[in-house]
Structure 1
Amino acid sequence: MEIRWLEDFIALARTRHFSRAADEQNVTQPTFSRRIKLLEEEMGVTLINRQTLPLSLTPAGEEFLTLCQQVTERVRLTRDRVREISAGQQRRIMLAAPQSLLAHFMPEWLAAQGGQDSIQPYLRATAWVAGDYFQALARAECDLALCYWPIERCDLDIDTSKCRYRVVGEERLIPVTACDNNGAPRNLLPGKRSAPLPWLAYPERGLLGSALKAHLTRMPINTYLNTQSENLFAANIKELVVLGYGMSWLPERCVQAELSNGALIRAGDKRWDVPLEIRLYRHQVQQHTDLDAFWNALPTYSLPHR
């Protein structure tokens, strides 16, 4: 299977017309049609429904289109990176991080390390779940990954065996809620069986969701929560909490301003806090001079509560 076959399929899915797609790919229609047929034979399924006008994708074709888009994008990114290296250009270190760390930790931390000029945030990563960061490190899509990591025991389905890490900071997930008219918490843990608290949750497949679930399981008292919605992103959850739609656990750095101005208040004492490390990961295989120099210059960080 060739990359250009995948590009052909993307063009056909976009135009829904063999002649127009062939023109886009600068080949004759017979050549283009033959390549699509070879692609279907390679996959062993029918990808195009040729009985409709305009053409449509079969369910297998829709699934395959997503894969084609991912693969061709990765090839493009890798090609660009390799060309930079081949041309002898200075390559900035690509650092992936979730939006909350990108906004509330990375700028100050990079300034302290003197890395503003050599580190470039990889903005595509702000929509990733935890496992995506390690897959991106393995395929050299980014050089470093900054992420939260639970300090307490937590079962995570993430393979980090081929990565190294440094602890570069700490964070806590703290329970917060909006205030009522008297300045008291609208929602207060642990809630009641008869009146569970409206909860704006993280998906359990995400790292923060897993860490929080493990922490609540260890609590000696029952917690009564009624999930209103799930969202991967702390910034989105915070907005809903401020608007009064429920309570949630948010990284403390993300809500410092709201706690100070009274837009938010704690929904429980420190027993409910979930301690986290902030870890910086790199893949064992990926090596280049600037990355090694930055990594080796990182200071040792010790968590105060250890």
Structure 2
Amino acid sequence: MGPGNRPLDLEWLEDFLALAESGNFSRAAQARNIAQPAFSRHIRALEEWVGVDLFDRSAHPAALTAAGRRFQPLLEETLAQLESARIKARAAHDQAAASLLFAATHVLSLTFFPQWLGGLESQLRLGPIQTISDSFHACEDLALQRRVQFVLCHGHPEVPGRLDEAEFPMLRLSDDVLLPVSAPLAGGGGAMHSLDAAEAAVPVLAYSEPSGLGRIMRARMRQVFGEGSSVPTLPQGVDIVFTAHHAALLKAMALEGRGVAWLPRSLIAAELKSGALVAAASAEWNVPVEIRLYRQRADMAPAAEALWTLVQERPPGSGGR
């Protein structure tokens, strides 16, 4: 006996485990849904492949030999690893089917990303695209875990994030600005809530911790959201009345007249034009930001590398809003 010139059939391994569990050839064959003579041949073929008897057929029920007892846990582990490998291989295939994997913050996935991507598609065949829209912190996690190739987000030169600290390559795609805005007064005549004219604490709609825009605001507007000052002081103070990490939700609350929100101009261009939102402060309260694209540090799929090369060749502001 011996495995020298005999192939191994994985079905034999499942048959072995069925017999080891039941100790009865007939019941094990029934559980495996095959005829008992064929089942017995499988067990004998496996023993020939291993080179030793795995079952003591003189015992009732059939019992594992010392070799069989040693073989069983190793076989169970091997089959579990094979199943895990199969699942991971299928997942890798599904991921590879999407040749471009993006993570984009909520606001940019709604405003900048579609038009920017359309501009690239006019010059490059991109193939399947998978996009995950989430908070800035979650997008950073996806990049650090190498689950996406690119991250599209807002950034500020003086407020580095985890991708900057990890030295992920970055391109500035365009510029944006966070504008303090409010619903207008009834009948016009200015902002319902104004940082410049208020005598009492101003109601503010703020970004929560997972938000990249919130991280920038907390760093650049410390006199509003913490200690310190890098822009004009606000003697009357503020009252943070609502917090969220979706700029679109803060926009909805601002439209309802609930307070002042610093919103990306790319998100509120139509509302500013129609007068549904108006400036709540002078321009010195504005916070310039960048729209950035980060990529993985390691080599990526050919389609992803081609996109990065194309974006490098395009001047900032040549796509999107």
Gaps of 5+ in 2: 1-84, 222-228
Aligned positions of 1:122-133 closer than 5 A: 122-123=131-132, 125-126=133-134, 128=135, 130-133=136-139
Q: 1:159 deviation in Å?
A: 5.6
Q: Contact 1:143 / 1:286 at 8 angstroms: preserved in 2?
A: no
- How many residue pairs get matched? 222
Distance across 1 between alignment mates of 2:162 and 2:220? 17
AA of the residue aligned to 2:238: L
Partner residue in 2 for 1:275 = 288
State yes or no: 1:118 paired with 2:127: yes
AA of the residue aligned to 1:111: G
TM-score (norm 1): 0.65
1:231 pairs with one of 237, 244, 253: 244
Aligned positions of 1:74-89 closer than 5 A: 79-84=89-94
State yes or no: 1:134 paired with 2:147: no
Partner residue in 2 for 1:36 = none
Aligned positions of 1:1-306 closer than 5 A: 79-84=89-94, 91-114=98-121, 117-118=126-127, 120-123=129-132, 125-126=133-134, 128=135, 130-151=136-157, 153-154=158-159, 156=161, 160-183=165-188, 184-190=190-196, 192=198, 195-204=200-209, 206-216=211-221, 217-222=229-234, 224-298=237-311, 299-302=313-316
The verdict on how the C-alpha distance between 1:116 and 1:276 changes in structure 2, with shifts beyond 3 A counting, is farther
Q: Contact 1:173 / 1:252 at 8 angstroms: preserved in 2?
A: yes
SS of structure 1 residue aligned to 2:178: strand
How large is the RMSD of aligned CA atoms in angstroms?
2.8
Q: 1:214 deviation in Å?
A: 2.5
SS of structure 1 residue aligned to 2:240: strand
Distance across 1 between alignment mates of 2:164 and 2:303? 26
Q: Contact 2:98 / 2:130 at 8 angstroms: preserved in 1?
A: no
Structure whose alpha-carbon radius of gyration is higher: 2
TM-score (norm 2): 0.62
Q: 1:117 deviation in Å?
A: 4.4
Q: 1:271 deviation in Å?
A: 0.8
Distance across 1 between alignment mates of 2:278 and 2:86? 46
Q: 1:282 deviation in Å?
A: 1.0
Percent identical among aligned pairs is 24
Gaps of 5+ in 1: 1-74
Distance across 1 between alignment mates of 2:99 and 2:172? 22
Distance across 1 between alignment mates of 2:141 and 2:194? 39
